[in-house]
């Protein structure tokens, strides 16, 4: 009895995949064969006069002549190579973003309670919109979209640790002043009245007080208190010490009033900016890592545009001090705004084959908004040593770039020529009129303005030329074989 082999689903999938691959290869080979036969058939056709449709020009294997019928059959079109246009422009697409260097997250320097939010006076338009009487409009708390100047108050945080440390500094200063006065009195007495030991002890105590004061002040500075805030504490200690005994009660009341503000820590705007986020309100208990506010200077916005790989050489050829562009918001009909770009990305997006171009645009009236889609137009530098030809005219032959140059506009006589590409663009290729010595050694030839180049049908021409060269070589070899003497 024959043994049956059971195929697994994986095995059936492998067989199906193999069959599909074989069919695909067979179809591709068939199409190539049909294309070659079609070209050969066209070459074999003759006109009513009996003229050969396509033939090599004598004396070379890179030029050929075609009948008018073959020109039409191949769909050949010719275009004049023109001098490089000084107004050539490259249009890039991208969006706007906030410059990270112009954005700040406002934090409380110490944990504590929010006891106040900064206020702003509503504009006349805003108060009218709210239905308020302009004569009775009062400042309101800050909110998203408000503009603040450098140093404006954003919030006040109550931190008991700061208040306690300031009180410690006042106590240390008061003790230091008392010990200083005591030392001065002892030194002012006549010699022999007080033992030197007492004076040494007073000096040591005064030095200890100075060390304590310095330690507390260093702590306050490490907490990023300003010198003016520390100076206020020193002034208060001096007032307490200098007051006469009869006015000590009033001074004590004054000190208590000052103590009420010592625990307050101000959060201020670091520069002229617009509030993008507000994440706290009066009464909140906040930590030092909370973003109380996010503010940004939007007078200059970043621009991120995408450039295709083939456009990068043209952008890199622009000198750094001349890298300018014009920014147009896609949803805005206003005139474009001038800007600059300074960074050409080093990483290519594998999906779109583009690199980021980063630059800047001025936004003094805040008419632009981060995230908007824009077009960035770059004026490319011109060169008298370059000619522009359509991209369709160029044949990429691996390490070589080829074009077909026609004798005239009819395209009935063409020559294949290797050229030196200076820089590519979307629809235009810029070719050097005179290749460099190194490019000449590789086979490149000049291409001058005013020469006719074939802009369509180049694939058919390349195939026809290749077949003519192969047939000519075969005929030459056969002729040499038949002309050779028969060995005896």
Q: What residue segments make up the domains of the chain, in order of their start?
A: 54-85+385-469, 89-99+299-379, 102-124+139-157+267-296, 161-262
Alpha carbon of 395 to those of 25, 38, 39, 235, 390: distances in Å? 25, 21, 18, 84, 11
Sheet containing 153-158: order of strands: 264-268, 153-158, 112-117, 285-286
- The domain 89-99+299-379 having CATH identifier 2.40.30.170: the answer here is yes
CATH class of the 102-124+139-157+267-296 domain in this structure: mainly beta
Task: Tell me what the pLDDT averaged over the chain comes to.
Answer: 80
Alpha carbon of 96 to those of 80, 341, 346, 363, 372: distances in Å? 40, 13, 20, 11, 6
If we measure between CA atoms, which residue out of 442, 392, 390 comes closest to residue 419?
442
Between 360 and 126, the higher pLDDT residue: 360
Q: What is the pLDDT of residue 8?
A: 44
Q: Report d(CA 200, CA 179) in Å as an integer.
A: 12
Q: What is the pLDDT of residue 327?
A: 93
Q: Give me the long-range contacts of 252-259 (CB less than 8 A, separation at least 24).
A: 255/170, 259/163, 259/167
Q: What is the pLDDT of residue 402?
A: 93
In contact, 312 and 302? CB cutoff 8 Å: no
Q: Report d(CA 108, CA 286) in Å as an integer.
A: 8
List, for residues 400-418, the tens digit of each pLDDT value.
Answer: 899 999 999 988 899 999 9
Q: Do domains 54-85+385-469 and 89-99+299-379 have the same CATH topology?
A: no
CB atoms within 10 A of CB 236: 21
Q: Report d(CA 81, CA 448) in Å as an integer.
A: 7
Q: Label the pairing between strands 119-120 and 140-141.
A: antiparallel
Place 484 in a pLDDT band, splitting at 50, 70 and 90: low
Q: Phi-psi category of 416—alpha, beta or left, where left has phi over 0 and alpha has psi -120 to 50?
A: beta
Q: Is the pLDDT of residue 255 over 50?
A: no
DSSP string, 239-250: HHHHS-GGGHHH
If we measure between CA atoms, which residue out of 162, 126, 168 comes closest to residue 145?
126
Looking at CATH, the fold of the domain delimited by 54-85+385-469 is given as: 2.40.420
Q: Is the pLDDT of residue 253 over 60?
A: no
Q: Taking residues 148-159, what's their average pLDDT?
A: 92
Between 269 and 334, the higher pLDDT residue: 269
Q: What is the pLDDT of residue 375?
A: 93
Q: Report d(CA 332, CA 365) in Å as an integer.
A: 15
List, for residues 39-70, the tens digit of each pLDDT value.
Answer: 455 544 544 445 578 888 877 778 888 888 88
Q: Which residues contact 474 (CB under 8 A, 6 or more apart)?
A: none
Q: Is the pLDDT of residue 382 over 80?
A: no
Q: Report d(CA 49, CA 17) in Å as an integer.
A: 53
In contact, 374 and 328? CB cutoff 8 Å: yes
């Amino acid at each position: 009895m024959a043994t049956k082999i059971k195929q697994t689903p994986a095995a059936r999938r492998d067989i199906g995949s193999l069959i599909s691959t074989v069919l695909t290869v067979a179809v591709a080979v068939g199409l190539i064969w049909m294309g070659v036969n079609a070209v050969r058939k066209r070459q074999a056709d003759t006109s009513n006069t009996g003229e050969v449709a396509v033939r090599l020009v004598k004396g070379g294997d890179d030029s050929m002549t075609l009948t008018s019928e073959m020109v039409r059959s191949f769909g050949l079109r010719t275009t004049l190579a023109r001098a490089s246009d000084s107004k050539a422009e490259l249009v890039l697409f991208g969006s706007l973003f906030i410059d990270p260097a112009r954005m700040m997250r406002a934090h409380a320097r110490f944990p504590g309670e929010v006891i106040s939010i900064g206020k702003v006076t509503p504009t006349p338009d805003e108060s009218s919109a709210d239905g308020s009487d302009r004569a009775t409009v009062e400042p309101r708390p800050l909110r998203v979209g408000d503009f603040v100047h450098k140093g404006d108050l954003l919030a006040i945080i109550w931190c008991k640790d700061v208040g306690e440390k300031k009180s410690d500094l006042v106590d240390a200063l008061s003790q230091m002043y008392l010990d200083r006065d005591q030392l001065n009195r002892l030194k002012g007495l006549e010699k022999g009245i007080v033992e030197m030991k007492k004076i040494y002890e007073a000096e040591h105590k005064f030095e200890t007080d100075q060390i304590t004061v310095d330690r507390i002040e260093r702590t306050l500075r490490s907490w990023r208190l300003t010198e003016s805030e520390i100076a206020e504490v020193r002034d208060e200690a001096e007032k307490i010490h200098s007051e006469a005994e009869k006015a000590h009660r009033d001074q004590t009341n004054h000190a208590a009033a000052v103590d009420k503000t010592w625990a307050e820590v101000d959060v201020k705007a670091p520069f002229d900016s617009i509030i993008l986020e507000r994440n706290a309100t009066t009464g909140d208990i906040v930590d030092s890592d909370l973003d109380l506010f996010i503010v940004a200077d939007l007078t200059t916005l970043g621009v991120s545009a995408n450039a295709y790989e083939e456009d990068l050489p043209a952008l890199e050829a622009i000198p750094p001090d001349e890298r300018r562009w014009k920014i147009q918001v896609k949803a805005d009909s206003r005139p474009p705004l001038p800007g600059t770009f300074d960074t050409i990305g080093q990483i290519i997006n594998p999906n779109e084959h583009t690199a980021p171009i980063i630059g800047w645009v001025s936004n003094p009236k805040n008419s632009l908004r981060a995230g908007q889609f824009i077009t960035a137009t770059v004026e490319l530098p011109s060169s008298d040593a370059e000619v522009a030809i359509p991209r369709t005219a160029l044949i990429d032959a691996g390490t070589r770039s080829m074009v077909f140059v026609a004798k005239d506009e009819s395209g009935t006589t063409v020559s294949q020529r290797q050229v030196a590409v200076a820089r590519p663009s979307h629809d235009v290729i810029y070719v050097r009129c005179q290749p460099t010595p190194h490019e000449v050694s590789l086979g490149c030839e000049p291409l001058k303005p005013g020469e006719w180049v074939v802009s369509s049908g180049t694939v058919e021409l390349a195939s026809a030329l290749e077949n003519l060269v192969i047939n000519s070589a075969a005929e030459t070899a056969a002729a040499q074989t038949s002309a050779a003497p028969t060995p005896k």
